[in-house]
Amino acid sequence: MPELSPAVQDALNNGRPVVALESTIISHGLPRPGNLAAARSFEALLTEAGVTPATIAVIDGVPKAGLGPADLERIATDESVIKVSSRDLGLAIAAGRTAGTTVAATSVLAARAGIRVFATGGLGGVHRGFAGTMDESADLTVLSRTPVTVVSAGVKSILDIPATLERLETLGVAVAGYRTNRFPAFYLTDSGEDLDWRVDSAEEIAAAMAARDELGETSALLIANPLPPERQLDPALHARVLADALAAAESAGIRGKAVTPYLLEQMQRATEGASVAVNLVVARGNIALAGQIATAWSARQRGTR
Ligand code: PSU
Ligand code: MN
């Protein structure tokens, strides 16, 4: 549990680098039909770097790490694919459903499979207006008890970023900026929030992973990887469309797990696709860094064996 593809099984058996990829970004985060090409390009980025990709999803009730081409296509194109967080996994498996896994669900399955490094676009977090809705992504609590290294461009700017950082601190999730002292804001390079820790190389991150293992640490390490400033969404455009998206969600009465996909879709529409282009750059940058970390980790494990 989960079922491993032959390539993932082989890489894990031989201590070669593997990176887990989430699938909600494919099923619910990126618009069709470009999402399928995006999912393939995410895997290709890793393969070209000598890293085995393990896209994680639930297919007809079977949790899988490493999808074949037909499964990947199914996640990207089948309208009946649902979005599952970790709490949903058992129910979705028993019901034979096909599902894209969120950061929370992907982390749980990756950890079960023995995959140490995981790449996503942006984590879920505390939503704006939390006091009224109590909407906080289960990504945060699940990462507090799941020992994976997650590479993310911070959390999506649709969220309450300072509140999310406070929750990560309370929950004991380690956070370090990659070559930065500032927490990124997904579409934007810099959220304006300072970080306590900065790391400058994949080897340094692998060393922190090893030290955390020795401590028996069971929470996640979050590596916050910002977009280069020249690739970010125009901050003025961002501010304008975000305000509209939040207002639209409020007046449409969107709740629960529909909130994040709804806001992303509003941003896509209002920016005429610019937010999607940035989302892809974000995801690719994170996947590339995750590949480097997995490579450094596997070299380190071979060296210490
Ligand atoms: N990052 C993206 N696009 C996405 C998501 C993250 O670039 O669609 C998804 C992730 O799967 C994340 C989820 O775990 O949004 C958070 O949803 P919620 O707020 O309902 O927990
Ligand atoms: Mn939520």
Q: Mind giving me the DSSP string for 197-214?
A: -EE-SHHHHHHHHHHHHH
How much is the pTM?
0.96
Mutation to probe ligand 1, out of 30, 126, 141, 260 (largest number of atoms < 8 A from CB): 260
* Relative orientation angle of helices 274-304 and 202-214, to the nearest 10 degrees: 60
Look at strands 82-84 and 62-65 and give their pairing: unpaired
Q: Could you read off the pLDDT tens digit of each residue along the chain, which spans 305 residues?
A: 999 999 999 999 999 999 999 999 999 999 999 999 999 999 999 999 999 999 999 999 999 999 999 999 999 999 999 999 999 999 999 999 999 999 999 999 999 999 999 999 999 999 999 999 999 999 999 999 999 999 999 998 889 999 999 999 999 999 999 999 999 999 999 999 999 999 999 999 999 999 999 999 999 999 999 999 999 999 999 999 999 999 999 999 999 999 989 999 999 999 999 999 999 999 999 999 999 999 999 999 988 75
Q: How far is the CA of 47 from the centre of ligand 1 (A)?
A: 24
User: How far does the centroid of ligand 2 lie from the alpha carbon of residue 83, in Å?
Assistant: 12
124-305 has the same fold as 1-115:
yes
CB neighbours of residue 230 within 10 Å: 6
Q: Which tokens belong to 263?
A: 């806001």
Query: How far is 256 from 127, CA to CA, in rounded Å?
Result: 11
pLDDT for the residue numbered 39: 98
CATH number of 1-115: 3.40.1790.10
Give the CATH number of domain 124-305; options: 3.40.1790.10, 3.40.1350.10, 3.40.50.970, 1.20.120.450. 3.40.1790.10
CA of 16 to the centre of ligand 2 (A): 35
Q: Say what the pLDDT of residue 305 is.
A: 56
- The confidence score (pLDDT) of residue 303 equals 87
Nearest ligand for residue 99 CA: 1
With a Cβ cut-off of 6 Å, ligand 1 is lined by 22, 24-25, 28-29, 85, 102-103, 120-122, 124, 137-139, 257, 260, 264, 279
Residue 43 contacts residue 55 (beta carbons within 8 Å): yes
- What ligand is nearest to the CA atom of residue 85? 1
Domain boundaries, the chain: 1-115, 124-305
